[in-house]
Structure 1
Amino acid sequence: MRFHLLVVCLVQFVYYTHANNQDFVYLTRGFYHESNGLQPSCPSQIYCESEFLHDVQLSKIYPDSKTFVDKKLKYTESEILEKYKKLKNSYNGNVPPNDELTKFVDQYLEDGDELEEWSPPDFTESPSITNRIRDKNFKQWSLGLNKVWKTLARKVKMDVKDHPDKYSLIWVPNGFAIPGGRFRELYYWDTYWIVNGMLLCDMSSTARGVIDNILYLVKLFGFMPNGARVYYLNRSQPPMVTLMVASYYKATNDFDYVKKVISTLDSEFEFWTENRMVTFEKNGKSYTMARFYAPSRGPRPESYREDYETAEHFKTEDEKNDFYIKIKSGAETGWDFSSRWFITSNGSDRGVLSDIHTPEIIPVDLNSILHINALTLSTWYSKMGNTNKAEKYYTIATNLLNSIQEVMWRPDLGAWFDWDIKNNKSREYFFISNIVPLWTESYNMPKKSVASSVLGYLKDQHIIEPDYSVNFNGTPTSLYASSQQWDFPNAWPPLQAFIIQGLDKTQQKLAQQVAQKLAEVWLRSNYKGFAEKSMMFEKYDVLAAGETGGGGEYTPQTGFGWTNGVVFEFLNRWGDTVSNGPNGCNSSYKYLCDFNRIRQQLMFWT
């Protein structure tokens, strides 16, 4: 087994040279190298690693750790750190009292105010998708959601480009839609569903600009960070930009754009294959597959206190830094956090956050996404007449497909499962990720048999009943109520897209009927929340229609970019047939009305 330790040093250094008004330097993958050492999360001492950051975050003067690292510096970093050193010395080297610390922060930093409201030029009040929606309530809802694009639309102020050393935010050239709530910057995998929603609302020019922002950051850093903040430079997120371009191409038929950006997609793909692959054995055969792995030193700056306090469970600095790598790797998954990444001493998922072992889990979804990315790039290169590149990516896609089939597919269970390289075993727990190969079509078996197997698996897990009725107000992320936000009873929009669109793509009648039922239940829950609270949530509670999900490190967020995008996807596919209906109490959704039965099942599962 090979474990490679990636350190992104020059990436961060080159970004910060712009603080001296030098031009940005576009990086190539050659700037990445292996090292036995660990670098901090980013080169900024205030935003990523310093005594000042440590003291402020542990003081709890801000309930949310992200608040401090999103602030703007009023003075240079060196001036602020020198002033803080003097303040601390006046207290004999001790941390100043909270009132003094708050005063100091207010004197030398201020709220970022990095964004300005922006009106997308191609916004239209009545997008064409609304003409395909039969239910009058859903039609009005879609018009309301369309207006939310204007509410979420932002551009980064030019001052951020001119003075990047004053901000944690990273400048991007075009307008974009923020996810919502505490998330006021461009994020990676969220953007896929935001782009799809924009395209369905006839905003192809805006969608292209958003994709170009992602590609701009890929050119700048050699990969797309988790989000457009310097403290996210230690990690990425699920690699969705190739699929964003595919969505744009499908909507516009603009292959010239594909040709323009394909070399950047190339470099992003190579980041994953060169820095996130690991070789392991199963049944005596060697496989090389992708994992999430984000090596850097110290706690996540935006969740500093939470990580630091969890790390106190460990005795040595090496153990603590190992934990920090695993927690950052967990954030790279997009599922931050879930029992999916827990490996206890007996090899189960029934642990706590200190049991996180993300880099030792080979994820179904990541490898499936890389498979469809490689296949897409192969198809485009073939269309361009570049045979060598087309064959290269076809070979990569084939190898990943075979590995997914041989390592992850369980015919006895009817689904795909993450592989635990720590214990050399399949992780036989329910997660929606077990169904992602349906969405990416990462299988080489007949669609009829795969659809039948997966439907059987969903019945075995009580997601659906023997008569194919639906049990929840959305498919739960897992069946284990761990208190983590990517577990039961929470349901997340992108995961609904994976399972519902995956079933639909099998083109098997029964699977498509189940997909429509699941989509209708999800739409009804989202609509209920919007109708009653005028809000769209980041995540939902499957046991309470229209209610936000809970758990995790921060309060429930509203907005919400990817939620709206998934709603538009489902309305585009089924808007002519789905209806708001009687809140799930008809024959197709009868078990939604039987809360006692669901509660008994929950007690059994947990």
Structure 2
Amino acid sequence: MAPTLRDHEKSNKPRKFLIDVEETKRLILEQEDTDGDLQITVNDAGPKVLEVGTANSGGYHKFDIRGTYMLSNLLQELALASGYGRKHIVIDEARLNENPVNRLSRMIRHHFWDGLTRRIDAEGLELICKDPKNRGTDLRPRVYVPHGDPDAWEYYSAIAKARPHLNLQVERLPKDITPQWVKSINDKPGILALATRRGQDEHGNSTLTAVPFVVPGGRFNEMYGWDSYFESLGLLADGRVELARGMVDNFAYQIEHYGKILNANRSYYLTRSQPPFLTDMALKVFERLPAEREAENREWLRGAMQAALKEYHTVWMADPRLDRKSGLSCYHPTGIGMPPETEASHFDHLLDPYARKMGLTIREYADGYNSGTIVEPELDAYFVHDRAVRESGHDTTYRLEKRCANLATVDLNALLYRYEMDFAMTIRDIFNDQFELADGRVIKSTPYFAYAERRRMLIDRYCWNEEKGLYFDYDIKLEEQSNYESVTALWMLWAGCASPEKAARVAATSVERFEATGGLVSGTEESRGAISLDRPNRQWDYPYGWAPHQMMAWRGLEQYGYIDDARRLAYRWLYTITKSFVDFNGVVPEKFDIVSMTHLVKVEYGNVGVDFKLVPREGFGWMNASYQLGLTYLSSHMRLKATCNGMWQRWKLFSRAGPAGDV
């Protein structure tokens, strides 16, 4: 029998494999990829062993490469080499047997972020205009330019002229963007322009360049709202400060020209925002800017905070999102009609009884409702809540279904408390309590400290449940707490809004109620309720776990001194990611079922990030970020053990009392 790599673990001799790229790729797929998905995974029934050659001073020898992980790594290296047109490559044994934690972290840092980076420029439009979510009647590539940005009009008009094959339509938005106007262009969807920067070319001529940003990945090929915050945390962890700064600049541009940070920069999102994170995002970037440019950095931060202040006052502290009776805020976008980005059949179950009542087909009824010839107040109310769920980022969950616009959610109000405290402390500590707004007015920190304290008291009054030791959403119409137990209660710790006593209760309750094998679930099984054919599971309910919930919890627990809990939860989450990465050809998906420990989920919308061939090139934005950030919570002892087999055998060592070892 030929020797295996394992036979030589004790040897110090370096080995390299001289491989014919296309022939070896053909052999490995033919032999190992038994389900034909162009990946080597644990689901394949091949022998999981491939004979390759190695060349060294002792001549030419053949060895076996065994196991899913090493074979999938070989396939990935071959696919990359093929993309570069290489006919033969020499692969180091260490690359095939690389510690999976190191390999994944390296791929995120050096490949995935670049694979997810976009610009709204000539090259970027080639990719971004191909939007699988479009289902209008006029699907020519289109870019919408703000009314008040003549530079952008000139920039994109020049691109359309220089690249006629794009058939790019450049259209100017009206000065006042109303919900009715947004609905009127649903059949003509397009990308929304983002920020540009002025510079000079080699001849001293003025130039405009599009500011880059990171997209989530898969079908989400535009700049999303809260995704961008979590992506920026990963970028900063990997030293990509300028790219994270560009994300802040694009958010400031959106607020200036579109009135809010958008759900994403597509035309059909013009009336919808997402969870607000801009202040913390800007401050984290500011902390990493070069110290020698202090004055320039302060002016940059001033611009970002001016934008965030505008968003705070005109979006979250204004109708219809502010509930004036409770003083708390709700997700409540202003769009009308059916959300156009959904699949054509997405609302068929909802429309069917209305259509049958009128003797129409579902499509006839939908067309009539969207055009306004059919009026149905019950549907109008439903779609207000449906859009609010999408604005919350938690689309969809039984926590919010059919009531979201009536809920002062814990997560939103925790974020706004953080806004208020960030405003107050930035104005006081960085701008010496003299902060100039864009219109020339000067404001002080005192009002924002007062706003924050008032919000904290209101959250305690309406959302805190002393008996259950947890924060709950507050229904402003029913004037009562929701009974859905959501992991977003931990956002109060992230925001620093909970008293030490309440934080202790929330931490203990959360460990008991939300901790699963693979991390934190979105909510409890009891809160979700029974699942059936008529009541299918929702992706933001039990048993699913999501990267933003993990990252918010780690930081919140850390801030209040529960570092052992934070580290244990980070370890569980990284274990979940690493196991799928090893077993499924390098996959990094959008979400996990963290109770059954799988990314192969049967739930609405499927799982983004799993549809690739041969080699992963992007991962998924906030999952990438959670991995890089999560590694910063692991002690050296924990990381040393974090090979896939080691994690699989050792995770039970990490009890709720805290990880074993030197933590």
> Which residues of 2 match residues 432-581 of structure 1 at below 5 A?
432-443=487-498, 445=499, 447=500, 449-458=501-510, 460-461=512-513, 463-464=514-515, 471-479=516-524, 480=528, 483-507=537-561, 511-533=562-584, 534-558=586-610, 559-574=619-634, 576-579=636-639, 580=642, 581=646
Give yes or no for the alignment of 1:329 onto 2:388.
Answer: yes
Q: Which amino acid aligns with 1:142?
A: S
Query: What does residue 385 of structure 1 align with?
Result: 432
Q: Tell me, in whole angstroms, the C-alpha distance in 1 between the residues paired with 2:268 and 2:321.
A: 23
Q: 1:222 to 1:398 in 2, by over 3 A?
A: same
Give yes or no for the alignment of 1:150 onto 2:150.
Answer: no
> Which residues of 2 match residues 351-390 of structure 1 at below 5 A?
356-382=402-428, 383-386=430-433, 388-390=443-445
Q: Tell me, in whole angstroms, the C-alpha distance in 2 between the residues paired with 1:441 and 1:372.
A: 8
Structure 1 residue 308, shift from structure 2 partner:
3.8
Structure 1 residue 589, shift from structure 2 partner:
4.8
User: Deviation digits for residues 107-149 of structure 1, max 9, x if unmatched?
Assistant: xxxxxxxxxxxxxxxxxxxxxxxxxxxx954223211111211
Structure 1 residue 179, shift from structure 2 partner:
0.6
Structure 1 residue 565, shift from structure 2 partner:
0.9
Give yes or no for the alignment of 1:263 onto 2:306.
Answer: yes
Structure 1 residue 590, shift from structure 2 partner:
7.3
Q: Which amino acid aligns with 1:390?
A: S
Q: 1:182 to 1:451 in 2, by over 3 A?
A: same
Q: Tell me, in whole angstroms, the C-alpha distance in 2 between the residues paired with 1:490 and 1:277.
A: 28
User: Deviation digits for residues 565-585 of structure 1, max 9, x if unmatched?
Assistant: 121111123253433233165
Give yes or no for the alignment of 1:582 onto 2:644.
Answer: no
Q: 1:459 to 1:571 in 2, by over 3 A?
A: closer
User: Deviation digits for residues 412-454 of structure 1, max 9, x if unmatched?
Assistant: 21111101223222122221112210111112x2x2x334312
Query: What does residue 138 of structure 1 align with?
Result: 101
Q: 1:137 to 1:311 in 2, by over 3 A?
A: closer
Q: 1:459 to 1:260 in 2, by over 3 A?
A: closer
Q: Tell me, in whole angstroms, the C-alpha distance in 2 between the residues paired with 1:552 and 1:586.
A: 30
TM-score of the superposed pair, with normalisation by structure 2: 0.61
RMSD: 2.4
Q: Tell me, in whole angstroms, the C-alpha distance in 2 between the residues paired with 1:304 and 1:549.
A: 19
Q: Which amino acid aligns with 2:336?
A: R
Q: Which amino acid aligns with 1:379?
A: M
Which one of the candidate residues 266, 271, 274 is aligned to 2:318?
274
Query: What does residue 411 of structure 1 align with?
Result: 466
Structure 1 residue 493, shift from structure 2 partner:
0.2
Q: Which amino acid aligns with 2:582?
A: A
| Kept after mapping to 2: 8 A contact 1:420/1:427 | yes
Gaps of 5+ in 1: 1-134, 281-285, 343-355, 465-470, 592-606
Query: What does residue 309 of structure 1 align with?
Result: 348
Q: 1:341 to 1:291 in 2, by over 3 A?
A: same
Q: Tell me, in whole angstroms, the C-alpha distance in 1 between the residues paired with 2:419 and 2:493.
A: 15
Q: Which amino acid aligns with 2:191?
A: L
Q: Tell me, in whole angstroms, the C-alpha distance in 1 between the residues paired with 2:598 and 2:347.
A: 35
Structure 1 residue 502, shift from structure 2 partner:
1.3
Q: 1:430 to 1:207 in 2, by over 3 A?
A: same
Query: What does residue 45 of structure 1 align with?
Result: none
Gaps of 5+ in 2: 1-97, 126-142, 144-155, 158-168, 172-187, 195-209, 292-296, 355-374, 435-442, 611-618, 657-663
After alignment, is 383-392 or 426-435 more displaced?
383-392
| Kept after mapping to 2: 8 A contact 1:485/1:549 | no
Structure 1 residue 365, shift from structure 2 partner:
0.4
Q: Tell me, in whole angstroms, the C-alpha distance in 2 between the residues paired with 1:586 and 1:572.
A: 18
Query: What does residue 394 of structure 1 align with?
Result: 449
Q: Tell me, in whole angstroms, the C-alpha distance in 1 between the residues paired with 2:485 and 2:266.
A: 33
User: Deviation digits for residues 4-57 of structure 1, max 9, x if unmatched?
Assistant: xxxxxxxxxxxxxxxxxxxxxxxxxxxxxxxxxxxxxxxxxxxxxxxxxxxxxx
| Kept after mapping to 2: 8 A contact 1:194/1:562 | yes
Larger helix percent: 1
Q: 1:179 to 1:389 in 2, by over 3 A?
A: same
Aligned residues: 426
Q: Which amino acid aligns with 1:485?
A: Q
Give 1 or 2 for the bigger CA radius of gyration.
Answer: 2
Which one of the candidate residues 226, 240, 248 is aligned to 1:203?
240
Q: Tell me, in whole angstroms, the C-alpha distance in 2 between the residues paired with 1:331 and 1:584.
A: 39
